[in-house]
Chains A and B, each alone.
Chain A
Amino acid sequence: MRDPRGDTTGALRHALRALPALLHTGFASVLAYRAEILIWMFATNMPLVMLALWSAVARSGPVAGYTPDAFTAYYLATLLVRLLTGCWVVYELTMEIRQGTLAMRLLRPIHPLLAHAAENAAATPVRLLVCTPLIAVFVYTSHRAVTHDWLLWLLVPVAIAGAWLIIFGVMAIVGTLALFVESAMGLFQLWLGLSGVLSGYLVPLDLFPARVRDLANVLPFRFTLSYPVELMLGRLDRAHALQLLGAQWAYVALFFAGTMLLWRKGMQRFGAFGG
């Protein structure tokens, strides 16, 4: 199988030219599967399940500085970030590899992962639209609990984009691993399980014992969810926020490099099935 990328700068220019078309088809397919996306978004309710527990706990007094209102703000922001950073490339990639349809993608003059990235990113406007009621509720209930620092708000979209890129990178790596092992999905489940605890999805990281928190601070999980949430709630000062932004994008670069390396190795092994 020929490496579809050719020489790097030429390929990059080529890809940039194809990007609008890719985003367009991605958007169209999102509209076609709108019901599925809606259901998936409604079924993402774990932050609300946790909110139910913690508001009952905080009724008898704040927990580590979190009042019931602070918990509401935290979990609504968590839900929002989670919904906006959704991504499904790992499912598609493993399926394409198992069924051999990846061969079709390889024949196109564009890197398959870039095509996937564009398709996934194209869902963002629809997600944002679906999230409007949630954003309205968030603003209504939590406008006092969020930060009033314009710089932090400026960083929020960048942090959400970084979170999305890390999640996409992990998914792409696990998906590419399907070229080497038969069931790579288990590995992704492992990531999801760890991420539930260490990204602040289930419990705000502030509430963990110091040792767990120190661990969570250096692992990539925090940057996929907790970091943008902490920005919105103003739990970071400016210097710390910028420092963490650097760390987040370092992870983005790391996962990008890892994906590319693995992909190139995987391509040497790939043989399409069927004919």
Chain B
Amino acid sequence: MRALARASVAMTLQYRIEALGEALLSLLWLATALVPIWVVFGNRPAVEGWSYPEMLLVIAWFTLLKSFLEGTINPSLLTVIAHVRQGTLDFVLLKPADAQLLVSFSKVEPAKLVDFASSLALFAWALHKLHRVPSLLELGAALLLLGAGLAVLYSIAILVISIAFVAVRVDNLIFLFGSIFDLARWPSTIFRGALAFVFTYVLPLALMTTYPALALLGKLSVQTALGALAGAAGFALAARLAWISSLRKYTSASS
């Protein structure tokens, strides 16, 4: 694991100026993500019960998860798809470690560390504005939910890979999922009707950003938290089963 991470960092450092430029651009993108919020709260004190710093907290979770999604999950996913297409997955399968683990962390984009760092800054800023220091219990619950959110993101990725064994052109699917994930930047309570249902139970965006933010605010009920953890476990189980069944179907493309 550590060797893989070191190789990725070295790879990025070779393009130093580009890395710096990319870091600056990440900050610009973050600023453009905050502009709508600034305009909204210039007009209103609260939206659907969410104040400005509370909303920042949700955006912080979103930025954090997005840095994981774009920093490790997506790049690794693209590598696996290339493996499947070229038939080189055999070499991964032959290695004496669990193949799902190996492919999941095969590639890391250290440039996304900037997003990771800016999400931490957003957390600090939001909590400072709220004059709030979360209790250990709340912090623990939030971290647990972060784990659950990552598990769901990762499971969706594994499910996408499993599709790659059957139909090869799925890199577009990642692209599509990334754009749906953009909706997770707002608290899930702004959605009404069918969308609210979909983003809570079918594609649990609420679990990824809204619930952890509520946990930090001390507003999350134990019931909801447990439901979220159970849901994440269900997703992870489904992904593992899909992975095993598609490996069974996998026949090497080479001789």
B163 smallest CB distance to A (angstroms): 15
User: Which residues of chain A are within 8 angstroms of B185 by Cβ–Cβ distance?
Assistant: 49
User: Which residues of chain B are within 8 angstroms of A42 by Cβ–Cβ distance?
Assistant: 176, 179
> Does A10 reach chain B (CB closer than 8 Å)?
no
What total of chain A residues lie within 8 Å of the partner, measured CB to CB? 31
> Does A145 reach chain B (CB closer than 8 Å)?
no
User: Which residues of chain A are within 8 angstroms of B17 by Cβ–Cβ distance?
Assistant: 183
> Does B29 reach chain A (CB closer than 8 Å)?
yes
User: Which residues of chain B are within 8 angstroms of A56 by Cβ–Cβ distance?
Assistant: 47-48, 186, 190-191
Instruction: Tell whether, in the assembled complex, residue B39 and residue A208 are in contact, meaning their CB atoms are under 8 Å apart.
Output: yes
In Å, the complex CA distance between A63 and B176 comes to 31
**Main secondary structure on chain A at its contact with chain B?**
helix
Given contact pairs A52-B186, A53-B40, A43 touches B47 in the complex (Cβ within 8 A): no
> Does A128 reach chain B (CB closer than 8 Å)?
no
Instruction: Tell whether, in the assembled complex, residue A39 and residue B186 are in contact, meaning their CB atoms are under 8 Å apart.
Output: no
Instruction: Tell whether, in the assembled complex, residue B186 and residue A202 are in contact, meaning their CB atoms are under 8 Å apart.
Output: no
User: Which residues of chain A are within 8 angstroms of B180 by Cβ–Cβ distance?
Assistant: 45
Instruction: Tell whether, in the assembled complex, residue A193 and residue B21 are in contact, meaning their CB atoms are under 8 Å apart.
Output: no
User: Which residues of chain A are within 8 angstroms of B44 by Cβ–Cβ distance?
Assistant: 57, 60, 63
Instruction: Tell whether, in the assembled complex, residue A190 and residue B169 are in contact, meaning their CB atoms are under 8 Å apart.
Output: no
CB within 8 Å of A: which of B152-178?
A: 169, 172, 175-176, 178
Nearest B residue to A43 via CB reads B179
Instruction: Tell whether, in the assembled complex, residue A193 and residue B25 are in contact, meaning their CB atoms are under 8 Å apart.
Output: yes
User: Which residues of chain A are within 8 angstroms of B40 by Cβ–Cβ distance?
Assistant: 53-54, 57
Nearest A residue to B22 via CB reads A186
In Å, the complex CA distance between A93 and B182 comes to 29
In Å, the complex CA distance between A54 and B186 comes to 11
Type the 1/0 row for B195-236, where 1 means its CB is closer than 8 Å to any CB of A.
Answer: 100000000000000000000000000000000000000000
> Does B35 reach chain A (CB closer than 8 Å)?
yes
Instruction: Tell whether, in the assembled complex, residue B175 and residue A39 are in contact, meaning their CB atoms are under 8 Å apart.
Output: yes
In Å, the complex CA distance between A26 and B39 comes to 41
Q: Which residue of B25, B32, B42, B191 is within 8 Å of A186 (Cβ)?
A: B25
> Does A136 reach chain B (CB closer than 8 Å)?
no
CB within 8 Å of B: which of A13-54?
A: 35-36, 39, 42-46, 49-50, 52-54
User: Which residues of chain A are within 8 angstroms of B178 by Cβ–Cβ distance?
Assistant: 43
In Å, the complex CA distance between A204 and B177 comes to 26
A207 smallest CB distance to B (angstroms): 5
A267 smallest CB distance to B (angstroms): 26
User: Which residues of chain A are within 8 angstroms of B36 by Cβ–Cβ distance?
Assistant: 50, 53, 202-203
User: Which residues of chain A are within 8 angstroms of B186 by Cβ–Cβ distance?
Assistant: 49, 52-53, 56
In Å, the complex CA distance between A193 and B27 comes to 10
User: Which residues of chain A are within 8 angstroms of B182 by Cβ–Cβ distance?
Assistant: 45-46, 49
> Does B28 reach chain A (CB closer than 8 Å)?
yes
Nearest A residue to B35 via CB reads A197
User: Which residues of chain A are within 8 angstroms of B42 by Cβ–Cβ distance?
Assistant: 209
In Å, the complex CA distance between A114 and B161 comes to 40
> Does A64 reach chain B (CB closer than 8 Å)?
yes
B165 smallest CB distance to A (angstroms): 19
Given contact pairs A56-B190, A186-B21, A35 touches B183 in the complex (Cβ within 8 A): no
> Does B43 reach chain A (CB closer than 8 Å)?
yes
A74 smallest CB distance to B (angstroms): 13
User: Which residues of chain B are within 8 angstroms of A9 by Cβ–Cβ distance?
Assistant: none
Given contact pairs A35-B172, A186-B18, A190-B25, A52 touches B183 in the complex (Cβ within 8 A): yes
B24 smallest CB distance to A (angstroms): 8
User: Which residues of chain B are within 8 angstroms of A196 by Cβ–Cβ distance?
Assistant: 32, 35
Instruction: Tell whether, in the assembled complex, residue A193 and residue B183 are in contact, meaning their CB atoms are under 8 Å apart.
Output: no
Nearest B residue to A208 via CB reads B39
User: Which residues of chain B are within 8 angstroms of A197 by Cβ–Cβ distance?
Assistant: 32, 35
A261 smallest CB distance to B (angstroms): 25
User: Which residues of chain B are within 8 angstroms of A57 by Cβ–Cβ distance?
Assistant: 40, 43-44, 47
- Point out which of A46, A50, A196 has the most chain B C-beta atoms below 10 A from its C-beta: A196
A181 smallest CB distance to B (angstroms): 10
B6 smallest CB distance to A (angstroms): 24
Given contacts A43-B178, A186-B18, A193-B28, 11 further A-B contacts (CB under 8 A): A39-B172, A39-B176, A44-B179, A53-B186, A56-B47, A56-B190, A57-B43, A57-B47, A183-B18, A190-B25, A197-B32
Q: List 14 A-B contacts (CB under 8 A).
A: A35-B169, A35-B172, A43-B176, A43-B178, A44-B179, A46-B182, A52-B195, A57-B44, A186-B18, A190-B28, A193-B25, A193-B31, A202-B32, A207-B39
